[in-house]
Amino acid sequence: MKQKWGVLPAVLVAALALAGCGGSGDDAAAEEGAPTKLTFAIASAVIGPKEEVAVYAVAKELGYFAEEKLTVETINTDGSVAALQAVASGSADLTAADSGSILGAVEKNVPVKAIGGLVQNWPWVMAVKPDSTLTGGADLKGKKIGVISLASGSAPYARAFVAAAGLDPAKDVELLPVGVGAPAAAALNDGKVDMLALYTQAYAVIENSGITLKYLDNPDAFDGIRSLSFAVGARKLDDNKDVYTRFLRAAYKAMLFSAKNPEAAMRIGYQVFPQILAGKQAADQLPADTRSLTAWLKTATPASGTPDQFGDWGAISDQEWTKTQAYTKEAGQITGDVQLGDVWEPGLLAGANDFDKAAVLDKAANYPAK
């Protein structure tokens, strides 16, 4: 089943309208020194310790957005496709969406463009019960795979994993939406699905609840594929490069802070998104949520080195785009080649990386424990 690009559901349209997305193009406000208003679409219906904490909450609470003269609000959508639709329609200004979904959108003439990478180490993996005999390959035939939703990056990953085993994803397996967290774990434990196709941070949440899982090895073909990337509306890009550069700079400062001190980032996340706690006490929840955030950060920061050595935030090489495009084609999200210039604008990254990294690291290292 291929992802569809159509009219936004009425409920989502209403939610976006209420969110009051405003105005990356408000030149008059910018000239007067007033903050530029942006709406950041989070490609998830569930608030959890990932980009909404490491990027948004930290940048907001530490004043990184304010320093860039930005006022940023968030909306939540059901997957990357919906988030990109929101950006393309102007209901949101930016999103961090699955790179394959961005490629799929561009092929279908949806006016969006990637301006910087976020998740750079492949985060998706298959999981089964500890006593499962499934190992991949022909074992997958006739099985049910639990995905977050058919509009998330989970579904194309599952299809590509099946295709890499020499099977037909449309005929040999069934994809069932199970969400994340407790519903996904229950679907696996109750036998409604034979395996799950989730990202590492989602599994960390499940494991924090005491559930044990066994993971299947990804084929080597998944190495070097990019996951989430920041995307904006292509029609607004030329007129708002400075605004988007400032957003990226604040976002990457927040990412560096979070990588250096994930526990502090998580505590900040509770301040901005108290619903993460789900009524629990922060002191009780902090260790598990910090582990979950750390698991996500491992996918969104360089695979080697320490935060003190991280640099060149947001870069995506041509080779990585080539591998990502090949994967996206295998997953059925695109049918042909997409010209790199149509999907990728790296020209903002020099400005986005122009900040005092030592100051960010010092703030993270000395952030109050309470």
pLDDT of residue 45: 63
Instruction: Quote the Cα angle for 320-323-327, to 5°.
Output: 135
Residues 139 and 132: their CA atoms lie apart, in Å, by: 11
Residues 210 and 206: their CA atoms lie apart, in Å, by: 7
pLDDT of residue 13: 36
Domains of the chain and any CATH numbers: 10-121+226-365 (3.40.190.10), 124-220 (3.40.190.10)
pLDDT of residue 23: 52
Q: Is the per-residue pLDDT at 154 higher than 60? A: yes
Residues 322 and 352: their CA atoms lie apart, in Å, by: 24
| Nearest CA among 97, 100, 108 for reference residue 159 | 100
Half-sphere CA count of 353, side-chain side, radius 13 A: 14
What are the pLDDT digits (tens) for 47-86? 678 999 999 999 999 999 999 999 999 999 988 999 999 9
Q: What is the mean pLDDT of residues 30-59?
A: 86
Residues 357 and 174: their CA atoms lie apart, in Å, by: 47
**304 close to 107: Cβ distance less than 8 angstroms:** no
> Which pTM value belongs to this model?
0.83
Give the mean pLDDT of the chain: 89
Q: Is the per-residue pLDDT at 164 higher than 80? A: yes
Cβ contacts of residue 175 below 8 Å, gap of 6+? 1, 144, 145, 147, 150, 155, 158, 159, 169
Backbone angles phi, psi at 95, to 5 degrees: -155, 165
Report CA dihedral (139, 140, 144, 147) to the nearest 10 degrees.
130
What are the pLDDT digits (tens) for 221-256? 888 899 999 999 999 999 999 999 999 999 999 999
pLDDT of residue 22: 45
Confidence band of 14 (pLDDT split at 50, 70, 90) = very low
